[in-house]
Structure formats: structure tokens, C-alpha cells
Structure 1
């Protein structure tokens, strides 16, 4: 009976939920300088699931880099039973080539250095 209680307690206290944290810096491939106001779109993620830590708001499916090219977003609490979900991000800004990046489903926290090429 003690073993059963112990096993139940361990299973009950073990969390199967977590956050996905997406952060990084977007720079010009030409000179390495951070690019402001680059649109970062979250693909394959339900709307209003991410919190834009730069602007302190929940976002539908996109947010922008700050004046230094930095961005950070955190998901709401989501199920991590089978690891973090697969998703993609798209970064775009007028005058630069758009990039789409696939996120490995086993990476819960993703930090990126994205270099954009000018058109």
C-alpha cells in the first residue's frame, strides 16, 4: 500500500506541462547590425498562445523585433507529454528576403541568431 501511495504521489507531482520560450536576435547578413521591426510569425500555433515579452501583450500569431533586433516570446502553459510541439516561424521585413525556420519538436527553449539577406 505504501508503494502504491508513493508511486501515485510521484506521478501526481510530476508535471507534463511547460512553456516554450522563443527568443533571439535578427541581424543584417551584410553588416551584422540588429534590424528593428522585423515581423516574426508563429506558424502552426493556435492564436493567442504566445506572450510578447518586448511589448508585454499576448499575440495572435506574430510579433516584432525591438530596436536592437531582439525578440522574445513565451507560450502559455502547454502539454509536454510527448515533448514540445512542432512549429515554424517566418521572419520578414520589406527590403529583406523572408526566411522560414522549422523548430525541432524536442526543443522547448529556442534561441536564434537569424541573419537576413537584403533583396
Structure 2
């Protein structure tokens, strides 16, 4: 099975960058376990300053992306984690309906 590659973008409050970095320097083990249980691999988040944009990249190796994302969203520990991260984030005005992080189109890939 080939992994589905995903790129996502969101803004981060300039005043929240230090806290965002602090949180992600020590992600809760249960959050990492849920990410893996939901078939996400090779997950990275990058910060671009001074624009204060976060770019996330991950590979999905499961067979039902929507079900796995619903499983993650229903997890109480993940919900608690998001309650710390989401106030620091600012979704893009151009995101699609229902998105928090805006999905980015892959236009090139080379293995």
C-alpha cells in the first residue's frame, strides 16, 4: 500500500510561538500513541517566521482516513491536547469548509 501524503497549513499567534514550541518539545505520549494508532506516520510540523505559519506533513497508511480522523477527534487525551494547542493557532481564511488546518495540494514529489 502506498502512503497518502498530506500537507497542511495554519497560522500561529506570534505571542504563542514559544508556548507552541514548548508543547511540541514534549508531546504527551498518549497523543503520540493515538497518532500512530490512527495510521499516521512520518509526521512533522515546520514553522515559517516572520509569517508565523505552521506547515504540517504526514503520511497516512490506513484504509479509511475519515474514520481514523474521527477516532482521533473522539479521544479525550487528544481533545485535551488540542485544548492547549488550538488557542495558539489561527486558521487561514481560505481554508475549506470544516477544516482547521488548511489542506495543501501536493504539486511535486520525488522519492
Hey, which of these two has a bigger chunk of strand by percent?
A: 1
So what's the TM-score if we normalise by structure 1?
0.36
Q: Which has the higher contact order (CA 8 A, sep 6+)?
A: 2
If you compute each CA radius of gyration, which structure gives the higher value, 1 or 2? Answer: 1
Hey, which of these two has a bigger chunk of helix by percent?
A: 2
